[in-house]
Amino acid sequence: MHSFRYVQGRLNCESVDLEALAEKHGTPLYVYSKETITDHFKRLDHGMERLDHLVCYAVKANSNLAILQTIAELGGGFDIVSGGELFRVLKAGGQAGKCTFAGVGKTRGEIEYALQQGIYCFNAESEAELRLIDQVAGDLGKKAPVAMRVNPNVDAKTHKYISTGKSENKFGVDFDRVLDAYAAIAKDCPNLEIRGLQMHIGSQLTSIDPFVEAAKKVTPLVEALKERHNIQFFSIGGGIGIVYRESLDSGDQSWWGGKSDEERPLTIGTYANALVPILEPLKLRILMEPGRFMVGNAGALISKVLYIKQGNAKKFVIVDAGMNDLIRPVLYEGWHQITPLQKSEAKPELVDVVGPICESGDFIAQDRELTPVVAGDTLAILSAGAYGFTMASNYNTRPMPAEVLVDGKDAHLIRERQTLDDLIKGEHLVGESAEEA
């Protein structure tokens, strides 16, 4: 589901009028719906209820403290990819004991921090990494819980930059080398406790087939590891795709929104019906690491129209949100629905919606049908809750946007807009340094 809909011609998030919110906090502004996050978490949690399971939200999708707090309060765990993300989870009230630590390049400092905090498991991506974890654990007099990430060599059929489960991707240990790698680690690394196996084949998967293919391929390996190393869990990763084209009419609140979905909807019903029967016989704890599914549809980026420019080839709608605020369109060819906060029935025209940044890649949408807008109008860029703010930068020395979490009729400011002073924080003129390097 999603919680953005027109009420009497004005776009609301839950029961909050977005125009009023934009006036109060300025634009660009990220707005999230707590209702959507809660609904999506519960859907997945219930879908998997026949299994001993834990939903570990992938923090990198949206790491605002209040979002993490929401997930923690729902009983979720977290999949982290850095020491910084672990720090955030702990600040937000999450438990280290429900955290898995992914990523191909963990540093010694991050490993020490995670061990000291007592995370549930390191999901290691190479033997070399496991040997370092073993060393660090030995130095700290601790035992480190570990799993290996298997690369099943399955095509996730998604954008090439978010496909992670093929042999040519940098992720995981090759399928046919995993058993040997576990045996070597078990023999050589006294400070490791082998706890599980993990995989994650890619992001924004809109078909169930690659999930099934990977699960079927890997379950015999899981059985073998259970027998040889007594593993406790199997993590099937994240990657559940969302629909980026939504219906915004109050009457239609079906989860997948509209009828015009080009992406074939992958519902939790489909996901659970296909995967639970494959996973149940393992009699292990099953972990999931959804990021986008949890927060993608829950967020919108609100942006004001600054200028309209009619060029020879195209008409440009220049808005105050740029690629520094939302990089998905240029990085992944991501498609975001754009809709005015005041509903219009006028005939749509073909435009490019572009930002203020000095880059030709700075666009939100190209060749898009949009009802005519004028300077001063406000637009919602939908389904921007995942990989939106977390990928934002200060490029062009632009302050990062504010973020608001809506809960029913309440709107909470969960991040202040950066100030000009924030933009130069920590910088020093030569001669004025706090200390010389």
Ligand X SMILES: *Cc1c(COP(=O)(O)O)cnc(C)c1O
Residue 215 as a binder of ligand X (CB under 6 A): the answer is no
**Residue 137: strand, helix, or coil:** helix
Count of chain residues binding ligand X (CB under 6 A): 18
Indicate the residue among 92 and 305 with the shorter CB distance to ligand X.
92
What are 290's two structure tokens? Answer: 């959804």
The alpha carbon of residue 60 and the mean position of all alpha carbons in its chain are separated, in whole angstroms, by 5
- Give the separation between CA 33 and CA 299, rounded to whole angstroms: 6
Indicate the residue among 11 and 146 with the shorter CB distance to ligand X.
146
Residue of 54, 102, 194, 404 that binds ligand X (CB under 6 A): 102
Paired with 379 in beta bridges are 303, 340
Instruction: Please choose, out of 133-141, 288-296, 318-326, 404-412, the segment that lies near ligand X by the rule CB under 6 A.
Output: 288-296
Residue of 237, 329, 340, 401 that binds ligand X (CB under 6 A): 237
Q: Which of 12, 100, 1, 104 is nearest to 302 (CA)?
A: 12
Task: Tell me the closest approach of the beta carbon of residue 198 to ligand X, in angstroms.
Answer: 7
Task: Tell me the closest approach of the beta carbon of residue 228 to ligand X, in angstroms.
Answer: 24
Q: Which of residues 167-206 bind ligand X (CB under 6 A)?
A: 200, 203-204
Indicate the residue among 144 and 287 with the shorter CB distance to ligand X.
287
- Give the separation between CA 141 and CA 371, rounded to whole angstroms: 64
> For ligand X, what does the binding mask look like between residues 19 and 48, x meaning CB under 6 A?
------------------------------
**Residue 161: strand, helix, or coil:** helix
Give, in degrees to the nearest 5, the angle at Cα 80 between 79 and 85: 140
Residue 291 as a binder of ligand X (CB under 6 A): the answer is yes
Task: Tell me the closest approach of the beta carbon of residue 171 to ligand X, in angstroms.
Answer: 8
- Give the separation between CA 239 and CA 198, rounded to whole angstroms: 13
Residue 244 as a binder of ligand X (CB under 6 A): the answer is no
Residue 190 amino acid letter: P
Determine whether 358 is an active site residue. yes
SS (H, E, C) 123-146: EECCHHHHHHHHHHHHHHCCCEEE
Residues labelled catalytic: 358
Binding region for ligand X (CB under 6 A):
58, 60-61, 79, 102, 200, 203-204, 237-240, 289-293, 386
